[in-house]
């Protein structure tokens, strides 16, 4: 099949979270299976500076209609691996920036324009380069207008640009909500600014467009597909999601085992596997050393790697301060984002610098070291569309402690509830229940044989993208 993806992040070129990993692994797995895959990505500064993009050739120069203006853009193309081409949508004014969505605290003010431009440029490229896609698959709000803009262009130009469109919701909490005045920039017919179209309480909602107008809609875990149809998790789009109930499926993300695999991970000081765990101890010692803690510590190390956003339940960890300060444990926290959460975590770490360390930055190598060197990985999310770190943790023999929501519930089994099959510990997304799970972690850690059995079962799980990619292939075929 000829498959076109469009997303605002793609590992290793631009990443703020799991979207980048998921799109890269999905595209890569489909390319490995022999499909012709293209991924469209904004030409951010970091991407253009990446060595892979050095040989990118300019393929097209576009003029994109935005309201009553025409804005130009360049399309550059490079191929990082067999069967895979990356199309960069370049326009300095919009994308020649360090960060993709905003500067620290605030989103960029022109985000509505930037991502309308992005989607329109994808459509124009499909048309002018005559790519003849079987499937156009877009991800999250930044690419959510693509299915609708594509059909509109087909109607206008009387051509077929894609046989089917697929839209994947990686996180329904981010919707791309903009003032009504921005609707004009889409050049869509006025009747689409309506309750059955992009209009949402007098604003424009991009994600709503993706849910309503794609031929198929997916979420990144089966449980999240059901959750988004409820008021508790739908973030106001539950009613919209319900209208597509028959066309929404949940396909679990996988783990890219070329990158996240302790047996080959070059970002670690030592490698290890189920059969040979010595390397994990070296990683543990290195982790303690790296954050300035004594290497002879024998109690449990709890690791956290997360965007600091309300979603991740960092405040639930902070609410368990007594546990962190009193129990015989160490905490290594890698994360940044919400300044209030950062400050509170920093204050906690300052109270007990020998026990708690916060590394408040983006650090890919450190994220691998925490996954490898910790004994437990803590992820008490309030909601979690899929979550990758709880899967990485199991692969790295680090027992995950997660809340029973979304993809976390689909990928972790509680070891107290299911002693024969458990791979982690689960709690409800509240401070008390997390505290209880942390206590259970101490008990588990004290029982070396049981801890090792839980660890080994996690490492034996197959989270590879083979399964996940087959799910998408079936979906595409069935849609076609």
Note the residues at the interface with ligand GLC (CB under 6 A): 17-19, 22, 170-171, 220, 253, 384-388, 407
Cα distance between residue 39 and residue 3, in whole Å: 9
Q: Report in angstroms the alpha-carbon separations of 439 from 15, 27, 151.
A: 34, 41, 54
Query: Residue 339 Cβ, how far from ligand ADP at the closest point, in Å?
Result: 14
Q: Closer to ligand GLC at the Cβ: 329 or 341?
A: 341
Smallest distance from ligand GLC to CB 3, Å: 17
Q: Closer to ligand GLC at the Cβ: 300 or 387? A: 387
- Could you tell me the end-to-end alpha-carbon distance of the chain, in angstroms, rounded to an integer? 10
Say which entry of ligand GLC, ligand ADP, none residue 389 contacts (CB below 5 to 8 A, set by partner kind): ligand ADP
> Which residue's CB comes closest to ligand ADP?
18
The one-character DSSP state at 261 is -
Question: In degrees to the nearest 10, what's the CA dihedral of 230, 232, 235, 237?
Answer: 10
Quick one: 128 or 467, whose CB is closer to ligand ADP? 467
CB of 392 to ligand ADP, least distance (A): 7
In the complex, what is the shortest distance from the CB of residue 17 to ligand ADP, in angstroms, rounded to a whole number? Answer: 3
Of the pair 19, 149, the CB lying nearest ligand GLC is at 19
Q: 364 is in the binding site of which of ligand GLC, ligand ADP, none (Cβ under 5 to 8 A by kind)?
A: ligand ADP
Q: Which of ligand ADP, ligand GLC, none does residue 305 bind to, with CB < 5 to 8 Å depending on kind?
A: ligand ADP
Residue 378 interface partner, choices ligand GLC, ligand ADP, none, CB cut-off 5-8 Å depending on type: none
CB of 392 to ligand GLC, least distance (A): 11
Contacts of residue 396, Cβ cutoff 8 Å, sequence gap at least 6: 260, 262, 280, 371, 372, 459
Closest CA to 443 of 332, 295, 330, 328: 328
Q: With b meaning 16 or more CB within 10 Å and e meaning fewer, what string describes 191-206?
A: ebbeeebbbbeebbbb
C-alpha dist (Å) from residue 56 to 21, 122, 146: 22, 17, 24
Give the interface with ligand ADP as residue ranges (CB under 6 A): 17-19, 21, 305-307, 334-336, 362-364, 367, 386-389
Alpha helices in 244-386 (DSSP H): 278-290, 314-318, 321-326, 339-351, 364-373
251: left (phi over 0), alpha (psi -120 to 50) or beta: beta
Q: Which is nearer to ligand ADP, 21 or 227 (CB)?
A: 21
Give the residue from 306, 95, 86, 66 showing the smallest Cα distance to 187. 66
| CB nearer ligand ADP, residue 219 or residue 367 | 367
> Which residue lies nearer to ligand GLC by CB, 112 or 168?
168
Helix (H) or strand (E) holding 218: strand 216-219
Beta carbon of residue 230, minimum distance to ligand ADP (angstroms, whole number): 19
The residue ranges of DSSP E strands in 57-205, in sequence order, are 57-66, 69-81, 84-90, 102-103, 106-107, 133-139, 162-169, 177-179, 199-200, 203-205
> Measured at CB, which residue is nearest to ligand GLC?
18
435 binds, among ligand ADP, ligand GLC, none (CB under 5 to 8 A by kind): none
Q: Give the shortest CB-51-to-ligand ADP separation in angstroms.
A: 20
Which residues are registered as beta bridge partners of 330? 301
Per partner kind, with CB cut-offs from 5 to 8 A, the member of ligand GLC, ligand ADP, none near residue 220 is: ligand GLC
Instruction: Kindly state the DSSP code that residue 289 receives in the 8-state scheme.
Output: H
- Closer to ligand ADP by Cβ: residue 17 or 269: 17
């Amino acid at each position: 099949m000829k498959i076109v993806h469009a997303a605002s992040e793609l590992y290793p070129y631009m990443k703020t979270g799991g979207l980048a990993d998921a799109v890269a692994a999905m595209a890569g797995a489909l390319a490995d299976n022999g499909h012709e895959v293209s991924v469209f990505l904004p030409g951010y500064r970091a991407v253009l500076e990446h060595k892979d993009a050095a040989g990118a050739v300019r393929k097209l120069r576009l003029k994109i209609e935005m309201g009553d203006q025409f804005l130009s853009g360049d399309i550059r193309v490079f191929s990082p691996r067999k069967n895979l081409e990356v199309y960069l949508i370049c326009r300095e004014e919009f994308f020649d920036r360090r960060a993709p969505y905003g500067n620290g605290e605030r989103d960029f003010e022109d985000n509505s324009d930037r991502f309308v431009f992005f989607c329109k440029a994808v459509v124009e490229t499909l048309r002018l380069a005559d790519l003849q896609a079987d499937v156009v698959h877009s991800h999250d709000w930044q690419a959510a207008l693509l299915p609708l803009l594509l059909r509109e262009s087909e109607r206008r130009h009387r051509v077929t640009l894609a046989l089917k469109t697929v839209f994947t919701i990686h996180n329904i909490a981010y919707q791309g909500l903009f003032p009504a005045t921005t609707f004009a920039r889409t050049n869509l017919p006025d009747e689409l600014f309506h309750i059955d179209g992009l209009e949402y309480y007098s604003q424009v909602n991009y994600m709503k467009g993706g849910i309503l107008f794609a031929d198929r809609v997916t979420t990144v875990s089966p449980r999240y597909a059901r959750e988004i149809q409820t008021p508790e998790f739908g973030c106001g789009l539950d009613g919209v999601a319900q209208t597509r109930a028959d066309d929404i499926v949940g396909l679990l993300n996988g783990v890219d085992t070329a990158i996240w695999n302790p047996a080959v991970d070059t970002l670690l000081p030592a490698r290890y596997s189920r059969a040979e765990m010595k390397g994990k101890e070296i990683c543990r010692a290195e982790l303690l050393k790296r954050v300035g803690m004594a290497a002879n510590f024998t109690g449990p190390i709890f690791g956290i790697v997360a965007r600091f956003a309300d979603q991740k339940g960092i405040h639930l960890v902070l609410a368990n301060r007594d546990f962190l300060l009193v129990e015989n444990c160490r905490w290594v926290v890698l994360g940044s984002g919400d300044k209030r959460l950062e400050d509170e975590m920093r204050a906690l770490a300052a109270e007990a610098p020998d026990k708690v360390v916060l590394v408040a930055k983006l650090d890919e190598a450190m994220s691998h070291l925490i996954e490898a060197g910790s004994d437990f990985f803590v992820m008490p999310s309030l909601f979690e569309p899929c979550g990758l770190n709880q899967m990485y943790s199991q692969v790295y023999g680090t027992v995950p402690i997660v809340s029973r929501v979304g993809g976390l519930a689909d990928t972790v089994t509680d070891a107290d509830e299911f002693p024969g099959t458990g791979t982690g510990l689960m709690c409800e997304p509240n401070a008390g229940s997390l505290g209880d799970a942390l206590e259970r972690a101490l008990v588990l850690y004290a029982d070396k044989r049981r801890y090792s059995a839980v660890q080994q079962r996690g490492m034996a799980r197959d989270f590879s993208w083979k399964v996940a990619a087959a799910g998408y292939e079936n979906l595409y075929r069935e849609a076609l």
